[in-house]
Structure 1
Amino acid sequence: MNTRVLYSLFLLVCCFAGSGLQAQQFAQRSHADMQDLEPDVEAASVIQPGEFIEEKIRKGLLIRVEVSKTSCVVGEPLKVVYKMYSRLNTNSQVMKRPSFTGFSVMEMVDTYDGRPVVEKINGVPYYVNLIRKVQLFPLQEGKFELDAAEVESIVHFVRVNIGEAPSVLDHKVTLRSEPVIIEVKPLPLKGQPDHYSGAVGKYTVKMKGPDTAIHQGELVKVRILVEGSGNINLLTPPEINWPEGVDTADPVVREMVDKYTFPLSGSKVFEYSFAAPDTGNIVIPAASLVYFDPQSQQYKEAVSAPLALTVNPGESAETQQLRANAMKQVDNGGIPKHLYWFGLVVLIIVSWLVFQFSQLRKKKSVEPKIHLPAKVEIPVPEEQLATARESLQTGNMKLFYHEIQHVLWNMAAIRCEIPPSLLNKQNVAARLAMQGVNDSLVQQLLHLLNTCEWALYVPGHEQSDPRNLLDETRLVLEGLQPKA
Structure 2
Amino acid sequence: MLKRVLPFFLFICFFQVAQAQEMRFTTKVSATSIALDEGLQVQFMLENARDANNFQPPSFKDFDVVQGPMQMQGTSIINGARSDYVALIYVLQPKHVGSFTLAGATVRVNGNIVHSNPVTIEVVKGNNVASAPSSSQRVGPAGPAGGGENLPDGVLRKGENVDAKLRKNIFVKVVVDKTTLYEGEQLTATYKLYTRLPTSSSVTKVPAFKGFSAKDVELPNPPQASEEVVNGQVYKVFIIRKTLLFPLQSGQLELDPAEVDNQVKLVQLSANGRKRVKDPFEEMFGDAFDDDFFNQQGAEYVTVPYKIQSPPLMITVKPVPANHPDTYTGAVGNFTMDASIDKTALTTDDALNLKVTITGQGNVNLLNAPKINVPTGFERYDPKVTDNIEKNSNPLSGSRTFEFALMPQEVGDHTIPGIDFSYFDPVSNTFKTLHSQPFNIHVTPGKQTKHEKEDFSVGKNELAPIHHTVLHWNKGGRLFFGSGWFWLLLLLPAVPLLWLIFRKRKEDYNVQNASLLKHRYANKVALKRLSLAARYLKEGKSKPFYEETSRAIWGYLSNKLHIPFSDLSKQLVMDKLQQLNSDRTAPLFELLDDCEMALYAPAGGQGRMQQTYQQAIEIISQLEQDLKHQQV
- TM-score above 0.5, yes or no: yes
**1:269 equivalent in alignment to 2:401:** yes
In the TM superposition, what is the alpha-carbon distance from 1:121 to its structure 2 partner?
A: 0.8
In the TM superposition, what is the alpha-carbon distance from 1:170 to its structure 2 partner?
A: 2.9
- The match for 2:377 is 245
Output the amino acid matched with 1:256: N
In the TM superposition, what is the alpha-carbon distance from 1:216 to its structure 2 partner?
A: 4.1
**1:230 equivalent in alignment to 2:356:** no
Give % identity.
Answer: 33
Cα distance in 1 between the residues matched to 2:195 and 2:584: 42
In the TM superposition, what is the alpha-carbon distance from 1:298 to its structure 2 partner?
A: 0.5
**1:304 equivalent in alignment to 2:433:** no
Cα distance in 2 between the residues matched to 1:125 and 1:223: 54
**1:443 equivalent in alignment to 2:589:** yes
- The match for 2:227 is 120
**1:170 equivalent in alignment to 2:327:** no
In the TM superposition, what is the alpha-carbon distance from 1:200 to its structure 2 partner?
A: 0.9
Output the amino acid matched with 1:66: V
Change beyond 3 A, Cα 1:454–1:313: closer
SS of 2:602's equivalent? helix
Cα distance in 2 between the residues matched to 1:48 and 1:140: 51
2:420 alignment partner, one of 274, 284, 288: 288
Cα distance in 1 between the residues matched to 2:357 and 2:303: 59
Change beyond 3 A, Cα 1:447–1:280: closer
Change beyond 3 A, Cα 1:90–1:309: same
**Paired residues of 2:344 and 2:442 also in contact (CA < 8 A):** no
- The match for 1:454 is 602
1:14-70 residue CA offsets vs partner (Å, 9 max, x unmatched) = xxxxxxxxxxxxxxxxxxxxxxxxxx9x93312356865344323431212121211
In the TM superposition, what is the alpha-carbon distance from 1:299 to its structure 2 partner?
A: 0.8
In the TM superposition, what is the alpha-carbon distance from 1:312 to its structure 2 partner?
A: 5.0
- The match for 1:30 is none
Cα distance in 2 between the residues matched to 1:224 and 1:105: 25
Cα distance in 1 between the residues matched to 2:553 and 2:368: 22
1:160 alignment partner, one of 269, 293, 296: 269
**Paired residues of 2:174 and 2:191 also in contact (CA < 8 A):** yes
Cα distance in 2 between the residues matched to 1:88 and 1:457: 36
Deviates more, 1:266-275 or 1:157-166: 157-166
**Paired residues of 1:220 and 1:273 also in contact (CA < 8 A):** yes
2:319 alignment partner, one of 173, 186, 190: 186
1:375-397 residue CA offsets vs partner (Å, 9 max, x unmatched) = xxxxxxxxxxxxxxxxxxxxxxx
In the TM superposition, what is the alpha-carbon distance from 1:271 to its structure 2 partner?
A: 1.3
Change beyond 3 A, Cα 1:428–1:251: closer
**1:46 equivalent in alignment to 2:146:** no
**Paired residues of 1:89 and 1:157 also in contact (CA < 8 A):** yes
**Paired residues of 1:146 and 1:182 also in contact (CA < 8 A):** yes
1:100 alignment partner, one of 194, 209, 213: 209
More helix by share: 1
SS of 2:167's equivalent? helix
Cα distance in 1 between the residues matched to 2:313 and 2:423: 28
Cα distance in 2 between the residues matched to 1:451 and 1:275: 39
1:141 alignment partner, one of 250, 253, 269: 250
Correspondence list, 1:383-422, <5 A: 421=534
**Paired residues of 1:106 and 1:135 also in contact (CA < 8 A):** yes
Output the amino acid matched with 1:240: I
Higher relative contact order (CA 8 A, sep 6+): 1
Cα distance in 2 between the residues matched to 1:275 and 1:89: 66
In the TM superposition, what is the alpha-carbon distance from 1:77 to its structure 2 partner?
A: 1.5
Larger Cα Rg: Structure 1 or Structure 2?
A: 2
SS of 1:197's equivalent? strand
TM-score, structure 1 length as denominator?
0.57
Unaligned runs of 5+ in 1: 1-39, 320-415, 459-479
Cα distance in 1 between the residues matched to 2:419 and 2:154: 63
Correspondence list, 1:456-471, <5 A: 456=604
**Paired residues of 1:82 and 1:132 also in contact (CA < 8 A):** yes
1:343-376 residue CA offsets vs partner (Å, 9 max, x unmatched) = xxxxxxxxxxxxxxxxxxxxxxxxxxxxxxxxxx
Q: Give the RMSD, CA atoms, in angstroms.
A: 3.9
Cα distance in 2 between the residues matched to 1:48 and 1:148: 32
Cα distance in 2 between the residues matched to 1:448 and 1:236: 23
Cα distance in 2 between the residues matched to 1:93 and 1:194: 48
1:73-127 residue CA offsets vs partner (Å, 9 max, x unmatched) = 1111111121223332222222211111111122222xx7862212111286654
Cα distance in 1 between the residues matched to 2:352 and 2:593: 43
Change beyond 3 A, Cα 1:267–1:224: same
**Paired residues of 1:65 and 1:83 also in contact (CA < 8 A):** yes
TM-score, structure 2 length as denominator?
0.45
**Paired residues of 1:248 and 1:272 also in contact (CA < 8 A):** yes
Cα distance in 2 between the residues matched to 1:217 and 1:65: 58
Cα distance in 1 between the residues matched to 2:439 and 2:177: 40
